[in-house]
A and B are shown apart, each in its own frame.
Chain A
Amino acid sequence: MDRWITIAGNEAAARIAYKVSEVIAIYPITPSSDMGELCDQWSAEGLQNIWGTIPTVREMQSEGGAAGAVHGAIQAGSLCTTFTASQGLLLMIPNMFKIAGELSPAVFHISARTVATHALSIFGDHSDVMACRPTGWAMLFGGSPQEVQDLALIAHSATLKAQVPFLNIFDGFRTSHEIQKIVPLDDAEIKSMIDEKLVAQHRSRSMNPDHPTIRGTAQNPDVFFQTREAVNPFYDATAGIVADTMDQFHKLTGRQYNLFDYIGSPQAERVIVMMGSGSECAEEAVRALNAAGEKVGLVKVRLFRPFDGEKFMQALPPTVQSIAVLDRTKEPGAVGEPLFQEVVTVLAVHGHPAAPKTIGGRYGLSSKEFTPTMVKAVFDELNKPEPKRHFTVGIHDDITHLSLDLPEIFDTEDPLGYRAVFWGLGADGTVGANKNTIKIIGEETPNYAQGYFVYDSKKSGSVTVSHLRFGPNPIRSTYLIRQANFVGIHQFGLIFRYPVLDRAAPGATVLLNSPFGPEETWERLPRTFQQEALAKEIKLYVLDAYQVAQETGMGVRINSIMQTAFFALCGILPPEEAVDKIRHAIEKTYGKRGPQVVAQNFAAVDQALAHMHEAKLGKASSDIDAVEPVSASAPAFVRDVLGEIIALRGDDLPVSAFRDVGTYPTGTTQYEKRSISLDIPVWDPAICSQCGKCVLLCPHGAMRAKVIRVEDLKNAPHSFHYADAAKFRGGEGLAYVIEASAEDCTGCGLCLEVCPERGTTPEHAGASLEHVDVIPESNKENWEYFVNLTDEPALPETPIFDNAKALQLIRPLFEFSGACAGCGETPYLKLLSQLVGDRLLIANATGCSSIFGGNLPTTPWSKDSHGRGPSWNNSLFEDNAEFGLGMRLSIDSQRDRAFSIIKKERSAIGDDLVDQLLAPEKYGDPDALKARREVVDQLRAKLQGQSSEELAALASLADSLVDRSVWIVGGDGWAYDIGFGGLDHVLASQNRVRILVLDTEVYSNTGGQASKSTPRAAVAKFATAGKPTGKKDLGRIAMTYGHVYVAEVAIGADDNQTIRAFREAEAHNGPAIIVAYCHCIAHDYDMKEGYAQQKRAVESGYWPLYRFNPARAERGRNPLMLDSADPTIPLRDYVEKEGRYRVLMRRDPELADVLLSEAQKDVDRKWLALSRLAATKEP
């Protein structure tokens, strides 16, 4: 028992890889990032590999870079590994061809993930590894964390003998993130599988000046083919070597793997062939079917490449009549998917006496659920006289009708097992507590344990659902729990928005975190919940976890309280023993935070049970309704498709719901009223100075302002209020309104922070936060009314929109994103949408901005009242600058053609109109833009009914005559690292593209790995000891070109400078780049302080504000204008407020001092250089 550990698939792979590697080069990508991070952490901790050395772990700038570094390290004689998935793996392909071509040992561990096609997906399937088939790498597939670990060692061992590199493959998320109880391997066991003689041979083949060789030559038609064929003996031997290695592993551990493992009836007639985690579920289903007398079986493919046809034939039972091959990938245009093709070919080549009918199907793309019911559906299909030759299972395909109908639910769960589902909110500790629970049960009882976690895609206020299974037997249920014995609901608000009882089995125990107590709670439940509770006869327990937390000084941390209650109710451990183990775990987890924190947690645990009570079920008579996922007034597509996805019913949508294949309407977040904050904004018109800062700086677009004629407010709702717009020049007698959408607010509190007007107390400002128990109807009414008022300001003169006060009156076309509360990136995007939104194309790099910008079901990019708004696309990560350049080239090409037709057809169109169309367009002038649109409309009218080919072409190109603006947007991960090559190339061009770098100084979206933008002394993943090198100065590099407009901005420090930089970039006749300071939760402090930190960053000289405008050089002036003042505070005053620096200052004060004084020198040097550059009068 003491040998068991509970870990997820990623860690299982990493543990082996680390032990048998010397050089590890990495680049993060979901869901593989954990592997690299663990290796980095172990290396920093000084953990040794089996040779007593500490592996070198190096983060590269992209996966291509990681593969290149690994290739180099292998060639120089080291044992190497890396970890990746999806697009990252694809970027490694050219190196993989080389590494295999040079007959090198290596193992890459792959948490197989969907390759982006019509959309990006972080979830699991085999499309990435299948794209590697031609590389010549061997491919091993494991279906569970135990198998991942075991096959990892088998791969690292076999590759040395075979001289063929291996991919050790497991399903992204389903295995990579599934926690299971496994038997670990110790150093001695691992060492015994690595043949030192083979290691020495590897070294002897390396590049060595003492015995020099060359590789990577260029060859010609005379010899390339023969040389390529010389690898054949190695590949012929590989499968045999893998089989021998598996036997050696069996002798060592008692666990036997084979190239193909057959499960099921020895007389099976129907057989499924598959690989990966789906085969675990299939095994469970096959055993259940066998027990019911069905003659079915399963071949689990372990070694997919090289595919040993003979061994495969031997694995099939002699009685087989029909075979269904299941592939977890799609290859459109192919006769069949890869595994199917392999099997069919083998059967044709070797010939099977029964000539079994072989059909091929797709399942589980992008972690789509694959369940025993689906396995049964496949076997049922094989029973038919004419089974579908090609099919899909797990979806409803009502267009091409490939999907199998599913039979009744086929329940194969272990009757002795215990299943628990927990609903929580992101960051409330639910997931952490559950991982802890699995550890306790898995490692300290004889039970097997499994944990799997489902998240939605929002970065704030997101829902988490934890699926936990325990039991005396091994758990192969690689699918979500459908019949839970226990449902824990950790946030009361969730019951109004989500089907929390869906997965409860009849008679289940439900534990609800309720503020209302056992007598009152029932009345407070929505009717649908009551109905389901009664129908399923659940046992309901309530616990006011927040009260317990408050009373014991835990603040809002309820996780150990709910965890204790779970243990008491599930009975897996006697309560006292459970409490004891929980306390033990608390000490381990929180010990470093000090005895007070531990004591608080202990007190909370003790109090938990005292506050838990059973609640009697009443009648289903509540008049409280569940919340509709989208408002009833939403357009049909939003209601019928997006609404279903929001309500977690997306699985049931058929293929026909998605006929537009990946194209979606904009302006959809407005229908998704998430109500995640009970601290809502409140406006005090009496003290408001109408400065517009709260509107500009609200990250979510929940604060808006308008100036309206008083006459137009006659039908305003009762509680609607406004002020006289006297603080605007020309505004006397007009109404100034600020309205806040409480249902969309995230409660970040930045409106209050930035408001310059204070009332009687510091918490009372022009914009303040007010706590409510429930969002008042009046707020929704007022918002609805406000939104429908005209967006045109009623001021007598059109303001110049280069300052916050004027800008607040422009409706943003970016609203209510799923970004973190208080996000530093979104205000810049909102600003961009205000300045050019109705003519904007955005090329958005992968990163936070592509997730909150484009994560289905809704997008924050929206449309104005004319139906115009930004058109947005995310291509990849590394190609974003090029992607945007391509858009610009296309638009320019269309305009060129349009103008050329206009010139040619002067007589048909008319001199006056032609002259207007050919006149240069004025940028940044709303009146000029309006006039331009009118001229183009006149052209469209003129072209109506024209039949000539040229004029018809002109009509189709007319839109482009109002020039578009192309903005290339992304984070520092893209701009400084993986996309820098493309960015540089675009900067070197002369095209009118604008680049916005949302600089969070770290890879925010993948969990905080260091980038080349991370500053010296800051702690990040892969820089856990503080980044030893300084921040790359992207702005100054761009300036060296001379023709590029460059600006460094920080909207919280100087919004005026930011706005003007955006306008100047927009007007620049060439490439423009803006580097924008973005505070981020990765900086580890309360985001309420985000703008204050921006100010300190500027005041310390760390983040100088400047604009480099080449147009000034043309006028004989210095193009560089330094907009911020000389530094007035030391760097420390800025950095010591941030956890990413403080953690080092606490952990290693000496090193922190050294790095920080170097960092201060960085600041001084940069400031000196910039002020010198800016000081001269001439360019």
Chain B
Amino acid sequence: MEVKLFFGSSTGNTERCAKIVHAKLKDLIAEIIDMRKASVEDFDFCDGFILGLPTVDEGLLQEDWRRFWDEVEDVDWDGKTVAIFGLGDPVKYGKWFVDGIGIVADKLTSCGAKVVGEWPNEGYLPFESSKGLRNGKFLGLVLDEDNQKEMSEERIDRWCNQIRPSFT
């Protein structure tokens, strides 16, 4: 399976996490691509996607993902495997905590993709609501680099082990 990792990062946090994910799944991931420089063509000829994105402002996609989002349907998602990890701040933006995961997961599912990497809502600081939650579970890995940075590596480690079979 041809797997690529795409991430968008404004402050460097998501980039940092993406590199850790890349390191953990190095044997699986063919390429790591910064969304700032990505185009629709980069998504072609690929069967598996690992997508990293922060949620910014009040539940909006980070700007590099936003830029891509107009063309998201130009990618053939049908039957592809997708895993998503998202960053958010439950304290300052608790009303929209990792909404981005939900936005992306729902969209790609509606385009025929299979979203893997469900993650429990455990250990996070209290937040008000999240579009990334479905039936009590997050649709992707959640990382809090603002308040629980020290827990990110371990969380990534567990999640990567969890999704590895889907991408082999």
Q: Does B137 interact with chain A (Cβ within 8 Å)?
A: no
Contact of B74 with A756 in the complex, beta carbons under 8 Å: no
Q: Does A1177 interact with chain B (Cβ within 8 Å)?
A: yes
- Chain B stretch 35-62: residues in CB contact (< 8 A) with chain A: 36, 57-60
Contact of A803 with B63 in the complex, beta carbons under 8 Å: yes
Contact of A729 with B12 in the complex, beta carbons under 8 Å: yes
Contact of B10 with A1054 in the complex, beta carbons under 8 Å: no
Q: Given that A1117-B74, A1177-B73 are contacting pairs, would A1060 and B12 also be in contact in the complex, using a CB cutoff of 8 Å?
A: no
| A1085 → B minimal CB distance (Å) | 21
A802–B64 alpha-carbon span in the complex (Å) = 9
Contact of B12 with A726 in the complex, beta carbons under 8 Å: yes
Contact of B11 with A802 in the complex, beta carbons under 8 Å: no
10 contacts between A and B (CB under 8 A): A727-B10, A729-B12, A729-B15, A756-B57, A800-B67, A802-B67, A1054-B57, A1056-B66, A1060-B66, A1177-B73
| A798 → B minimal CB distance (Å) | 11
Residues in A with CB closer than 8 Å to B81 are none
- Chain A stretch 1113-1172: residues in CB contact (< 8 A) with chain B: 1115, 1117, 1121, 1125
| B44 → A minimal CB distance (Å) | 15
Query: Can you add 5 more A-B contacts, CB < 8 Å, to A729-B11, A803-B10, A1117-B73?
Result: A689-B11, A726-B12, A729-B12, A758-B92, A802-B63
Q: Could you give, for residues 83-110 of chain B, a 1 whenever the CB lies within 8 Å of some chain A CB and a 0 otherwise?
A: 0000000001000000000000000000
Residues in A with CB closer than 8 Å to B73 are 1117, 1177
Q: Does A202 interact with chain B (Cβ within 8 Å)?
A: no
A1164–B15 alpha-carbon span in the complex (Å) = 41
Q: Does B130 interact with chain A (Cβ within 8 Å)?
A: no
The chain A residue sitting closest to B10, CB to CB, is A805
- Chain B stretch 1-57: residues in CB contact (< 8 A) with chain A: 9-12, 15, 36, 57
The chain B residue sitting closest to A1125, CB to CB, is B59
Q: Could you give, for residues 150-167 of chain B, a 1 whenever the CB lies within 8 Å of some chain A CB and a 0 otherwise?
A: 000000000000000000
Contact of A1056 with B10 in the complex, beta carbons under 8 Å: no
The chain A residue sitting closest to B36, CB to CB, is A800
A1112–B69 alpha-carbon span in the complex (Å) = 13
Q: Does B128 interact with chain A (Cβ within 8 Å)?
A: no
Q: Does B122 interact with chain A (Cβ within 8 Å)?
A: no
Q: Does A1095 interact with chain B (Cβ within 8 Å)?
A: yes
Contact of A756 with B63 in the complex, beta carbons under 8 Å: no
Closest 7 CB pairs of A and B: A803-B63, A727-B11, A1056-B66, A729-B12, A1056-B63, A805-B10, A1121-B70
Residues in B with CB closer than 8 Å to A689 are 11
Residues in B with CB closer than 8 Å to A1117 are 73-74
The chain B residue sitting closest to A727, CB to CB, is B11
A1060–B60 alpha-carbon span in the complex (Å) = 14
A757–B11 alpha-carbon span in the complex (Å) = 15
Residues in B with CB closer than 8 Å to A757 are 92
The chain B residue sitting closest to A799, CB to CB, is B36
Contact of A729 with B63 in the complex, beta carbons under 8 Å: no
| A474 → B minimal CB distance (Å) | 64
Contact of B10 with A756 in the complex, beta carbons under 8 Å: no
Q: How large is the interface on A (under 10, 10 to 19, 20 to 34, 35 or more residues)?
A: 20 to 34
Contact of B60 with A1056 in the complex, beta carbons under 8 Å: yes
The chain A residue sitting closest to B146, CB to CB, is A689
Q: B residues within 8 Å of A by Cβ?
A: 9-12, 15, 36, 57-60, 63, 66-67, 70, 73-74, 92
A1056–B64 alpha-carbon span in the complex (Å) = 10
| A1178 → B minimal CB distance (Å) | 11
| Chain A interface, >50% SS class | loop
The chain B residue sitting closest to A1109, CB to CB, is B70
Contact of B70 with A756 in the complex, beta carbons under 8 Å: no
Q: Given that A729-B9, A756-B92 are contacting pairs, would A1054 and B70 also be in contact in the complex, using a CB cutoff of 8 Å?
A: no
The chain A residue sitting closest to B11, CB to CB, is A727
A735–B153 alpha-carbon span in the complex (Å) = 30
A1054–B61 alpha-carbon span in the complex (Å) = 11
Residues in A with CB closer than 8 Å to B15 are 729
Contact of B58 with A1095 in the complex, beta carbons under 8 Å: yes
The chain A residue sitting closest to B67, CB to CB, is A802
- Chain A stretch 321-357: residues in CB contact (< 8 A) with chain B: none
A729 CB contact (under 8 Å) in B10, B57, B59: B10
A1177–B92 alpha-carbon span in the complex (Å) = 36
A689–B59 alpha-carbon span in the complex (Å) = 17
Residues in B with CB closer than 8 Å to A727 are 10-12
A690–B10 alpha-carbon span in the complex (Å) = 10
Residues in A with CB closer than 8 Å to B57 are 756, 1054-1056
Q: Could you give, for residues 727-765 of chain A, a 1 whenever the CB lies within 8 Å of some chain B CB and a 0 otherwise?
A: 111000000000000000000000000001110000000
| B111 → A minimal CB distance (Å) | 10
A728–B63 alpha-carbon span in the complex (Å) = 13
A729–B15 alpha-carbon span in the complex (Å) = 9
The chain A residue sitting closest to B59, CB to CB, is A1125
Residues in B with CB closer than 8 Å to A728 are 11
The chain B residue sitting closest to A806, CB to CB, is B63
| A1002 → B minimal CB distance (Å) | 27
| A760 → B minimal CB distance (Å) | 14
Contact of B9 with A1054 in the complex, beta carbons under 8 Å: no
| B90 → A minimal CB distance (Å) | 14
Q: Could you give, for residues 94-125 of chain A, a 1 whenever the CB lies within 8 Å of some chain B CB and a 0 otherwise?
A: 00000000000000000000000000000000
A728–B10 alpha-carbon span in the complex (Å) = 7
A728–B60 alpha-carbon span in the complex (Å) = 19
Q: Could you give, for residues 644-673 of chain A, a 1 whenever the CB lies within 8 Å of some chain B CB and a 0 otherwise?
A: 000000000000000000000000000000
| B149 → A minimal CB distance (Å) | 14
Residues in A with CB closer than 8 Å to B11 are 689-690, 727-729
| B167 → A minimal CB distance (Å) | 27
The chain A residue sitting closest to B34, CB to CB, is A729
Q: Counting chain B CB atoms within 10 Å of each CB, which of A727, A728, A1056 scores highest? A: A1056
Residues in B with CB closer than 8 Å to A729 are 9-12, 15
| B122 → A minimal CB distance (Å) | 27
| B69 → A minimal CB distance (Å) | 9
- Chain A stretch 738-795: residues in CB contact (< 8 A) with chain B: 756-758
Residues in B with CB closer than 8 Å to A1055 are 57
The chain B residue sitting closest to A1107, CB to CB, is B70
| A1046 → B minimal CB distance (Å) | 15
B63 CB contact (under 8 Å) in A690, A805, A1115: A805
A282–B66 alpha-carbon span in the complex (Å) = 70
The chain B residue sitting closest to A1115, CB to CB, is B74
Residues in B with CB closer than 8 Å to A1121 are 70
The chain A residue sitting closest to B92, CB to CB, is A756
Residues in A with CB closer than 8 Å to B12 are 726-727, 729
| B106 → A minimal CB distance (Å) | 11
| B95 → A minimal CB distance (Å) | 11
B60 CB contact (under 8 Å) in A756, A802, A1054: A1054
The chain A residue sitting closest to B131, CB to CB, is A1125
Residues in B with CB closer than 8 Å to A756 are 57, 92
Residues in B with CB closer than 8 Å to A1125 are 59
A1020–B57 alpha-carbon span in the complex (Å) = 34
The chain A residue sitting closest to B58, CB to CB, is A1095
Residues in A with CB closer than 8 Å to B70 are 1112, 1121
Residues in A with CB closer than 8 Å to B60 are 1054, 1056
Q: Could you give, for residues 803-825 of chain A, a 1 whenever the CB lies within 8 Å of some chain B CB and a 0 otherwise?
A: 10100000000000000000000
A385–B137 alpha-carbon span in the complex (Å) = 102
| B18 → A minimal CB distance (Å) | 12
Q: Could you give, for residues 1077-1116 of chain A, a 1 whenever the CB lies within 8 Å of some chain B CB and a 0 otherwise?
A: 0000000000000000001000000000000000010010
A800–B73 alpha-carbon span in the complex (Å) = 22
| A508 → B minimal CB distance (Å) | 58
A727–B56 alpha-carbon span in the complex (Å) = 14
| A379 → B minimal CB distance (Å) | 71
Residues in B with CB closer than 8 Å to A1095 are 58
Residues in B with CB closer than 8 Å to A758 are 92
Q: Counting chain A CB atoms within 10 Å of each CB, which of B10, B15, B59 scores highest? A: B10
A1060–B67 alpha-carbon span in the complex (Å) = 8
| B9 → A minimal CB distance (Å) | 7
Residues in A with CB closer than 8 Å to B36 are 800
A1154–B73 alpha-carbon span in the complex (Å) = 42
